Structure formats: C-alpha cells, structure tokens
Amino acid sequence: MTEPGLRATRKLQTRQALLDAALALLEQQSLSSLGLREVTRAAGIAPAAFYRHFADTRELGVALVHEALASLHAMVADIRGQGVATDEVIARTVDVIAGYVRERRAHLRFLARERHGGVAVVRAAIAAEAGQFADELAADLATRPESRGWSEPDLRMLASLYVDQAMLTATALLEVEPDDTAALERTLAAARAHLRIITLGRMHWLDQRLAL
C-alpha cells in the first residue's frame, strides 16, 4: 500500500472543496439546475479545472450521494449494534434520525431532493443505496426473537417499510425550522406514533393472515 502522495492529497482537497460548494448551493436549488461555473466560482477555482474531477455536474451528484450515505451507514450500525429492548427502539430510532437531521442537514436535504429528482443516474444511485440499507436491516431483523415465523421476503418487505418511514420522518424534520421547538416536538411525536403503528402491525402480522 503506497503513500497518498502530496499531489494526490491536494487534488482530493480541491475535490472536496467542489463537493462542499455544490452541497451548499444545492440547499436552494436542485441538481439539474446546478451550473458547472457556479460550483467552481463558489469553490474558488477556475471553471476548466472542474473537468479534472468530474465530467458532469451529474457525476458530481453521484459522488455527493456516496458522501451523504457513508456517514449514515455508521450511524445505523450504531443502533442495531447495541441490543435494546423493543420499547426503546422506537424512541432511540427517532432520536437518531433527529440527530442526523441536525448534524447532516445539507446532506439529507440533498438526498430527499434528488431521490425523485431530475437526474436519472443520481436517482439510481440513491435507490441502490436505499435498497442496500433495507437488506442490512432485514438481516438484522431476522436475528431478533420477534421475527420468529417470518419469511425472508416478508422481512425484506418490513425492512423497506421501516426505511421508507425513516426517510419520511427525516424529510418531515427538514421542513421544520431548526429553532421552532414546538413544531419540532409535534413532528417527533407524529413520527413516534407512526413507528408505533407499524410496530403494532408487525406484532400482529402472523395473528390472522386470512382474517383481515
């Protein structure tokens, strides 16, 4: 394994500057309207230098997807690592989401905006990562005692519901003004209630498959 090299690290620095500048600009617009010159101007480099790192703003968008989800992976691993009781899981999950919204607001806004945005490759990148998340969660759910009797596809289905719901909670939190504590608590309460309904449904999934 070789050293990074001085030139390579400098290159990574300006690449990061481009990503940071783009992320800041994307709080007020979407990727398909993000201009190449706009980004280089904000990053403090010449327009032509952009091509040393990305061919497109679309390609830059894909890089942002991976950057945004790298930190999220670690965070989720944190929850499922420690074995918590079921009644704590809901509270802890919502707290973790809220913390992520607080700390990585720009990243999350980008994901929410581009998940159904105008750039196909970015949509695909996000969908792939979200699917992987659901896979990981399904594998984790399979180890829990509550999942006795659950088929593998059903667990995957449940996991995707949780992932979707987490994303929904996160985007709802994005709409809340960060210092509006009343609205924040209202949103958090709704998120907890939604999770509780899903958990209740999960508990009774095997009760009466045909009776419903």
Partner DNA sequence: CCTTTCGGATAACATTTGTTCACTGAAATC
Partner DNA sequence: GATTTCAGTGAACAAATGTTATCCGAAAGG
Neighbours of 56 (CB within 10 A): 13
Distances in whole angstroms, Cα of residue 93 to Cα of each of 97, 123, 128, 170? 6, 25, 22, 11
**Binding mask 26-45 vs DNA (x if CB under 7 A, - otherwise)?**
---------xxxx--x--xx
Minimum gap (Å) between residue 131 Cβ and a copy of itself: 11
Residue 13 as a binder of DNA (CB under 7 A): the answer is: yes
Task: Pick one of DNA, a copy of itself, none as the site partner of residue 42 (Cβ within 5 to 8 A by kind).
Answer: none
Q: Where are the alpha helices (DSSP H) in 82-151?
A: 86-103, 105-115, 120-142
Question: Which of 12/91 has CB closer to DNA?
Answer: 12
* Binding partner of residue 45 among DNA, a copy of itself, none, CB cut-off 5 to 8 Å per kind: DNA
Nearer to a copy of itself, 44 or 201 (CB): 201
Q: What is the C-alpha separation between 197 and 205, in angstroms, rounded?
A: 12
Query: Binding of DNA at residue 47 (CB under 7 A)?
Result: yes
Residues 177 and 172: their CA atoms lie apart, in Å, by: 11
CA distances from residue 10 to 6, 36, 61 in whole angstroms, order as listed: 6, 20, 21
> Which residues of this chain interact with a copy of itself, rule CB under 8 A?
26, 28-33, 86-87, 109, 112-113, 115-118, 123, 127, 154, 157-158, 160-161, 164, 168, 171, 174-175, 190, 193-194, 196-205, 207, 212
